[in-house]
A and B are shown apart, each in its own frame.
Chain A
Amino acid sequence: MRRILFACAASLLIYGAAFTWLLDRPLSLGALQARIEATIAVGQTIHEPKLVILSGSNGPFSHRCEAIGPIIERPCINAGVAVGVGLDYLFTRWKPLLHPGDIVYLPLEEAQYVRPRVTADLGPDATIMLRHDRATLWALPIRRKIAALFAADLRAVVMSVIETALAGDGFRDPRGATNGGFNGWGDHVGHTAALAELNRSTLAEIVPVHPSADQIRTGYGTVLVGDFLRWASQNGVRAIGGLPTGFIDSPISDDSVTAIRAIYRDESAGFLELPNRSRYPRAAFFDTQDHLNEAAQIAHSVAVAGALLPLMDRSP
């Protein structure tokens, strides 16, 4: 029995040490981390009232700070990353950079409200924190620390080896040529309508899944957003909720919109709702229902900026 216990303990120690100090995923998680750090670095350089967009990839693909900033006459940072990145992680990273007078716009994807806690705890941010950002991990609850320690499975081991080898070999993701890249504000650029033609058949077949109003009301993400809205209110930061972009033929139900709106209104935060509820024809999208193509991204951003203006002056 002693040998079994020793083997089990050794296994846990090796696993913990390997994922804390040795194994890394410089390409997939590295790209996400680079995005997060890049937008935070921009945020650190701005010392005047600013607008920060926090969301999943709907933020950078469907919103353009480059277009919004001049309209609202304040700097704008597009800090949305990916739907899988934990909201608590994102909020924890941005809180120190948010000051009285700042505005946070949250056009969160529906999935971000309803993502279960067990899934959220094991998202890519768990591995990023364990390997590269232990200060943030330390600030999160003990549950998140344990989950981060056990976030990696065998596939993660395999991918770590592959990605480390490829990164050492100077590998570049071939999708860059077909997807575009990011500008200095954190916006995704270059995802043109012409490039979107490659994804036309995929876009035609996508059947978006909409969580129910009940799922949104009781979702774990809703709890995290509520906590953040209270923090924002107490710290003089104006938070404004919004709707993510999506297909016009697959609208979010009235009940769900009411549920999303209530999350913000209940905490005295603003809520931005365009007349079209951010719904567009499939031809306006790039590769998924969360990603407008570049022309539509700019048009949507102009509309959002116009709608933000009357909401900005209200005190939090």
Chain B
Amino acid sequence: MMFHTIAFIMGFLPICVTGFFALGRFCSARWALRWLVACSLFFYAWWHPAHLPLLVASVVLNHTIARKLVHTNRRRAWLTVSIGLNLAILGWFKYADFLLHIVSPNAPALHVVLPLAISFFTFQQIMFLVDTSRSQPALTASQKFPSLLTYASFVTFFPHLIAGPIVRPSEIIPQIAAPRLALPNIENLTDGLLIFLLGLGKKLVLADMFGGFADTGFDAAAHGAALTYFEAWYATLSYALQIYFDFSGYSDMAIGLARMFNVRFPLNFDSPYQATDIADFWRRWHITLGGFFRDYFYIPLGGSRAGPVRQTGNIMATMLLCGLWHGAAWNFVIWGGLHGLLIVIHKLYRRLFPALPAMLGHALTLLVVILAWVPFRAGSLAGVLGMFRGMAGLNGIALPRMIVAAFPPLAAIADPVTVLPFLGDARTLSFPEISACLLLGWLIVLTLPNVHRMTDRARHWTLTSSFALSMQALFFAPHVAPFLYFQF
């Protein structure tokens, strides 16, 4: 079930919230948690019920192992085995075909169906295992090991189950175990609802619109079409906006939903396209994933403590893994590798030179981040090269005749054409339409504060401007695009 569907908003959510607080008020917090777990499992099973046993088994197994970790003297061995087991399951479902193809390119594919959210709930539980092995005192507020019910509530909690944020057990479990969790809090309910509705707008109104523009260009490039300069750039700029609005919209919806249940999730996006350098970008983009890789991979590898050469290796390994986490395909590895390289170059530069002026740093960061989205989206090497060829102007620069007629000097650089065939709906007015939409989208991401930095008044104004369009898309759009991050 997806957050931006009628079934979820009109059916699942009201029933789940009402049942949770009714049980909390009239029965007990334990019953409310049981209800929450049941709802979360139903939410998960909606997509593919056959994968529900895998989630349940994973939760029970990891809780059992974690309990063992608390009491055993051989923590390191148990931890290694448990992490290995989690990664083996993840590897089988997500990477079996990819690895098989590397080892034996001609072998028939296994066609393993990827269980929804496996990357997220696997990482979530690895965090819990590692934290338990480190005996973090903050693991539970009462210094008690969480019960299976509390643990299951934490892992399966539907707001973050499918696509994150990847929350820290030490941040969330104490909130879930809090005695007043299941008592309604009007402030949290209204704040949560407001954030949810704003996230819904980002997804339905903005992300899906830019997704349509991006698909036209990238699909054409994938089929070997020679995109001209503006077609290629507009598709890439649209994709950069689509993935931001899609995933940050999803994260806002998740944060809002959790808030309705009196649980505070950490910030996951902090206006990443306003970053002034690539390291800053990664402090703002998918913050919880970046935090996971930093604390559970990069730092255990040695981080920056073992000298610059080792640090470079650690950065590259971390970012390559980060890329691979997004999917079992070379385009994600290339994307991760590119970002790793950019971080290494940035660190090297900062050792030798002073920081660039903020404006220049911002522009340069934005440019490389946008360029790196090309391999992430294109899917095939031919598609990547085709898109870069177009962006470099090697397939020519074409503009609609009406634009050239309005600005005659453009004739010196652009061929006048009736329509650009790979731009939007390929209509006479597609060029000004997409230009205006891109201008609007980039103005939003570059100049406005994000939902979490807005004043309360600004949030309500934003809701006023977006709610009707969200409802239009929710109830009347003939096609609902899934969240991009569901595939990861």
Contacts and interface: CB of A to CB of B under 8 A. Distances in A.
A174 interface: yes
Interface string A147-185: 100111111011101110010000101110010000000
Interface in A113-155: 116, 118-119, 121-122, 147, 150-155
A15 B357 CA distance: 42
B20 to A, nearest CB: 18
Given A8-B467, A174-B405, A158 B478 contact: no
Contacts of B466: 11
How many chain B residues sit at the interface, stated as a range, is 35 or more
Given A154-B437, A174-B405, A11 B477 contact: no
A7 interface: yes
A173 B428 contact: yes
Contact of A155 (B209, B400, B419, B478): B209
Given A11-B466, A28-B427, A1 B460 contact: no
B401 A162 contact: no
B463 A152 contact: no
B468 to A, nearest CB: 3
Given A11-B467, A175-B428, A150 B475 contact: yes
Contact of B478 (A16, A116, A202): A116
A118 to B, nearest CB: 5
B350 to A, nearest CB: 40
Given A1-B186, A10-B464, A28-B427, A147 B476 contact: yes
A248 interface: no
A154 B460 contact: no
Contacts of B461: 7
Interface string B395-421: 000001110010000000000001101
A14 B473 contact: no
Name B's interface SS.
Answer: helix
B469 A154 contact: yes
A47 interface: no
Given A151-B476, A163-B429, A158 B464 contact: no
Contacts of B206: 154
Interface string A40-84: 000000000000000000000000000000000000000000000
B119 to A, nearest CB: 32
Nearest to A28: B429
Contact of A8 (B186, B190, B401, B463): B463
Interface of B: 186, 189-190, 193-194, 197, 205-206, 209, 400-402, 405, 418-419, 421, 427-429, 432-433, 436-437, 440, 460-461, 463-469, 471-473, 475-478
27 contacts: A1-B186, A1-B190, A4-B194, A4-B197, A4-B463, A7-B464, A8-B197, A8-B467, A10-B464, A11-B463, A11-B464, A14-B464, A14-B468, A15-B468, A116-B478, A118-B476, A119-B478, A152-B472, A153-B209, A153-B473, A153-B477, A154-B469, A155-B437, A159-B433, A162-B432, A174-B401, A174-B405
Closest 4 A-B residue pairs measured CB to CB? A15-B468, A11-B467, A7-B463, A11-B468
Interface of A: 1, 3-4, 7-8, 10-12, 14-16, 27-28, 116, 118-119, 121-122, 147, 150-155, 157-159, 161-163, 166, 171, 173-175, 178, 202
